[in-house]
Chain A
Amino acid sequence: MTIAASARTDEAALIDEVRRGDTRAVTEFYHRYLDRVFNFVYHRVGGSVEDAEDVTQDTFISAFRSIHHFRGDAAIFTWLCGIAKNKVRDFIRQRHRAKDIPREQMVDMEDQDALETAMSDVWQRSLADDVVDQDMARSVVRELFARLSDDEREALWLRYVEELSVKEIAQVLGRTPKGIEGLLTRAKKKAAAGEDEVEL
């Protein structure tokens, strides 16, 4: 049995025990996935622990309400990332609506471009901490992310921070693996173009 197939069998067994309401299995489930999902959410809501907790909680509540429908086509973390991604989107929409902005300046959050700009702002905010040994990396990534589309940023993050496979990224973003390869290639080309300007 390959490592991937073995991991999938292990996940299926865990899901079965969780569905039965086994306390130890639920604890193990959170031990494996909570920090990864929290981290996924944390950087997408602008680096606020409180907001990250709210969105992470919504993600897991949705997951547990629909856990009996989980068929195991995707890995558990991939499935959770798909739910979290939608929850982050809802959160950003709600927060922009809740802001005290004059009506004429209000951004239409159903407009995809406006939503992408808002999400880009949030990514930038999560890079805003001034930690000395991260300064260089943050400034380069901030500059790079400003030139990427929302999906290009997501693909880069999932590939190089979460280390998901191209197939898994495709499941999270609802695209084909070929489409993800294209996104990653474009994002890296943009990084290479910017690399001329920034001394690495």
Chain B
Amino acid sequence: MAGRAGTPGAGALETIVRRLLQAAFRPAGASDEFRDRLIRTSLNILDERKTGHSGKSGNRLEPGVMESFRDNITSVPRVNSLDARNSGEPIDDSAADAEAFRAPEKRRFRG
């Protein structure tokens, strides 16, 4: 399609715009070091998803540990509960009291 006198047609204008933009914005590339770092990070993300582990030490429990912990908690007899105290039976609190009032152990610096 021809344009008005002195201006390029649609095809010519498209070519001019393409050339101008490609000349003005020369391609920029990432460094090899940056690429290697991203590859490592991405593999960690994929591995984290596969294993369910964050890869950081001590931040997450293995699967099943939390459930097992909860089972143990609920299976502990609640001898000192309010119900037991209200039952009228004598309760021996001496061991718990001794534990509660024991002086804290001296902390050692572990360098």
Task: Give the A interface residue count (CB, 8 A).
Answer: 49
Residues in A with CB closer than 8 Å to B65 are none
Is the pair A134, B24 in contact by a Cβ cutoff of 8 Å?
A: yes
**How near does chain A come to B25, taking the closest CB pair, in angstroms?**
5
> Nearest chain-A residue to B47 (Cβ)?
A21
**How near does chain A come to B31, taking the closest CB pair, in angstroms?**
8
- Stretch touching chain A among B37-45, B69-77, B89-97, B100-108: B37-45
**How near does chain A come to B1, taking the closest CB pair, in angstroms?**
12
Contacts A35-B29, A141-B21, A156-B17 known; A192 to B8 CB distance under 8 Å? Answer: yes
Is the pair A160, B49 in contact by a Cβ cutoff of 8 Å?
A: no
Is the pair A61, B46 in contact by a Cβ cutoff of 8 Å?
A: no
Task: Write out, one digit per residue, whether chain A residues 1-40 have a CB within 8 A of any chain B CB (1) or not (0).
Answer: 0000000000000000011110100110110001100110
Residues in A with CB closer than 8 Å to B28 are 38-39, 42-43, 47, 49, 52
Interface residues of A in 126-145 (CB under 8 A from B): 126-127, 131, 133-134, 136-138, 140-142, 144
What is the CA–CA distance of A57 and B22 in the complex, to the nearest angstrom? 25
Is the pair A30, B35 in contact by a Cβ cutoff of 8 Å?
A: yes
Residues in B with CB closer than 8 Å to A157 are 21, 25
Is the pair A57, B38 in contact by a Cβ cutoff of 8 Å?
A: yes
Dominant secondary structure of chain A at its interface with chain B: helix
Is the pair B50, A141 in contact by a Cβ cutoff of 8 Å?
A: no
Is the pair A65, B23 in contact by a Cβ cutoff of 8 Å?
A: no
Residues in B with CB closer than 8 Å to A27 are 39
> Nearest chain-A residue to B29 (Cβ)?
A35
Interface size class of B (residues with CB under 8 A): 20 to 34
Task: Write out, one digit per residue, whether chain B residues 1-42 have a CB within 8 A of any chain A CB (1) or not (0).
Answer: 001001110100110111111111111111000110011011
Partner of A188 from the list B17, B39, B41 (CB cut-off 8 Å) is: B17
> Nearest chain-A residue to B19 (Cβ)?
A137
Indicate whether A56 reaches chain B with its CB closer than 8 angstroms. Answer: yes
Residues in A with CB closer than 8 Å to B43 are 21, 23, 26
Chain A residues within CB distance 8 Å of chain B: 18-21, 23, 26-27, 29-30, 34-35, 38-39, 42-43, 47, 49, 52-53, 56-57, 60-61, 64-65, 67-68, 126-127, 131, 133-134, 136-138, 140-142, 144, 156-157, 160-161, 188, 191-192, 195-196, 200
The 9 listed contacts between A and B (C-beta, < 8 Å) are A23-B43, A26-B46, A38-B29, A38-B30, A57-B34, A137-B19, A140-B24, A141-B24, A191-B17
